[in-house]
Amino acid sequence: MDKIVIRGGRKLRGTVRISGSKNAALPIMAAALLGDGPSRIRNVPRVADIRTMSDILSSLGARVDFPKPHEVVIDPAGLSNPTAPYELVSKMRASICVLGPLLGAIGKARISLPGGCAIGSRPIDLHLKGLNQLGASMRLSHGFVIANGKRMRGADVFLGGRFGSSVLATANILMAAVKTPGVTRIEGAACEPEIVDLARFLQAMGARIGGVESHSLRVEGVRRLKGVDHTLIPDRIETGTYMIAAAITRGELFLKGARADHLRAVIEKLQEAGVWVEARAGGIRVNGAGARRVVEITTHPYPGFPTDIQAQMMTFMTVSPGISVITEKVFTERFMHVPELNRMAARISLEGSSAIIRGVRALSGAPVMASDLRASAALILAGLVARGETTVDRIYHIDRGYEDIEGKLKRVGAAIERIR
């Protein structure tokens, strides 16, 4: 099993090219099943989750090709198999987003309950509730969701959940609705940039969608959609991670291709913490040389502070003087990285859904183990500033969502190696 070894203490300087958004790519790849012809998707990141999704789509009968390193062409002509198998779906939670397109394309689906990162309970009840409101019959049997959408009709769907809007549930209902007869109104819809990108892709295919970028979507079903050419938005979570990498090492990075308008909450908190951040033509420049200040953060659905940047920001706070607080409101059990950071001499204590971080002068390099995708990134950030050597195990998590992270960091000055 691969490991990443980091020798801390170097300031990062230079340019990092931001990859396309993994979280936009996965539902858009699934949405390509709805077209009458092939769709070409550009700016696709080379990460493990993309390969998993391509394997799922191939198992359903679609043809998936990668003509260039960052392009995928999906031809749904052979789509006929409604079953997404356990051995593939168990690898990532986002696999559930093939449910809506299968119902829209062939009227039936049999999807294994999804897997993914171990960051707490993430039920799919909103997916099932929304599709049921459209008229799909749903049942669970032997670990599979079995759905029939032959009688689906436009309806009013409410997707507000206990912890706010659900991104994947919104994607599933939207993809099911675009070819469902009648008008569907989705209230409590997620409005993350990844959902907006999906809606733009569907609109280019011929879908009639109103209210994009809001919590209220109006969908008028159409009979046919066409294959299209689409370029993905940049990955805002990767962008946030490298912003914090510049800040924590007191370095300076230009993040090429990044979009500041997708990260207002993160930029605001970094600036509050004393980090210089400036949106420029073609990207974002970050300088971490300034004096640091304590901050309080609460995660929320977009446009709030993203839960997917919580762990990375916590690492930054461990070496910021004073006492900072993070409250997790999206996935309340998402603190599995805390014991590993404490192994590196961080001082973090948990009180319910909040983490209290007492800043220390320096972290200490140590062997640590990643529990999930974003925790992996947090531990690598910790290694960049820790005294001595840090070894991060279970890095298959990081390969799910970060393209060539060790290569990108090495090119801007980090002492980092992958040990195979």
116 is in which domain, residue-wise?
22-231
User: Are residues 12 and 36 both part of a single domain?
Assistant: no
Are 214 and 287 members of one domain? no
Are 226 and 306 part of one and the same domain? no
Gap between the Cα atoms of 330 and 122, Å rounded: 10
pLDDT of residue 121: 46
Query: Are residues 315 and 258 part of one domain?
Result: yes
Position 311, amino acid: A
d(CA 342, CA 194): 33
Helices (H), strands (E): how many in the chain?
14, 24
Q: Which residues have a catalytic role annotated?
A: 117
* Domain end call among 231, 254, 281: 231
Are 303 and 412 part of one and the same domain?
A: yes
- Shared domain for 209 and 169, answered yes or no, is yes
Pair (312, 255) in one structural domain = yes
272 and 186 both lie in a single domain: no
Q: Is the pLDDT of residue 332 over 80?
A: no
As a whole number, mean pLDDT of residues 187-213 equals 97
**What single-letter amino acid sits at 243?**
M
57 vs 78, 82, 97, CA distance in Å?
10, 10, 11
Name the strands in the sheet holding 367-369, side by side, starting at the edge strand that comes first in the sequence: 367-369, 389-393, 3-7, 415-419
306 shares a domain with 262: yes
Give CA–CA dist 6/394, Å, rounded: 15
Residue 294: strand, helix, or coil: coil
C-alpha closest to that of 186 among 236, 221, 148: 221
With bands split at pLDDT 50, 70 and 90, how would you rate the model's confidence at 115? low
- Report how many domains make up the chain: 2
Q: What is the CATH number of the domain that holds 322?
A: 3.65.10.10
Residues 216 and 352 placed together within one structural domain of the fold: no
Q: Which of 181, 216, 231 is where one domain is finished?
A: 231
Query: 């990375």: which residue's tokens?
Result: 312
Residue found by looking up tokens 């909450």 in the block: 265
Specify whether 224 is located in the same domain as 282: no
* Buried-state track 45-56, b at ≥16 Cβ within 10 A, e below 16: bebbbbebbbbb
Predicted confidence band at 151 (pLDDT cuts at 50, 70, 90)? very high
Whether residue 288 sits in one domain with residue 346: yes
pLDDT digits (tens, 9 = 90+) for 338-392: 999 999 999 999 999 999 999 999 999 999 999 899 999 999 999 999 999 999 9
Show which of 199, 231, 263 is a domain's final residue. 231
